[in-house]
Amino acid sequence: MKHYFFILLGLSFLVFGACKKKKEEKPKSDATVFVDSFSLKQDGVLYTTDSPDASSNTVWIGVTAGTIGETGNFYQVGIKKNLLPGTYEYQGGIDDVIQFMMISDQLVYVVNHGNLTVLSNDTILKQMECDFEFEMLEDNSHSDTIQITEGHARISY
């Protein structure tokens, strides 16, 4: 499992880091303004930001938020780009439509089980909104679990 995680982590940094795109000014219109946001509760404690970092390639949308450090939490989500609205269960494989990783107090947590609900995915305007919840396991010993609930993301990619 440890080797699998480091392979996944390395690939995610290559995929998501290499695919950063500049935020483009969107033309103003009478339509409702789409504002990026990312929030969740980690064991009941709210984390929220209105400036998640989103990037994409031909297959994945990558979202990162938080801070890596001794007291910070860092969240990294990978979502398949072509998902239609609906609920998707995490199956535990590299072919899943979602990958979620968290670093907390310098420990790495990976998904044990959970789901993602795509509320909307406009592939023309490149905007997605989704809800998610996961049970996370500490990657090394699997002795510690964390509950991610009330997760919500609105992202422009």
> Cβ of 2: how many Cβ atoms within 10 Å?
9
Does 26 map to a domain? no
Looking at every residue in the chain, the average pLDDT score rounds to 83
Task: Over range 34-52, report the average pLDDT.
Answer: 94
Where in the sequence is the domain holding 15, given as residue range(s)? 2-21+34-156
Does 89 map to a domain? yes
Does 27 map to a domain? no
Structure tokens at 20: 């950063």
Does 51 map to a domain? yes
**Helix H or strand E encompassing 123:** none
Please say if the pLDDT value at position 79 is more than 70. yes
**What's the total number of domains in the chain?**
1
Does 140 map to a domain? yes
pLDDT digits (tens, 9 = 90+) for 119-144: 999 999 999 999 999 999 999 887 89
Specify the pLDDT at position 126.
95
Specify the pLDDT at position 33.
80
Specify the pLDDT at position 32.
67
Does 95 map to a domain? yes
CA-nearest of 79, 131, 72, 66 to 104 is: 72
Task: Over range 97-122, report the average pLDDT.
Answer: 93
Specify the pLDDT at position 69.
72
> pTM value?
0.77
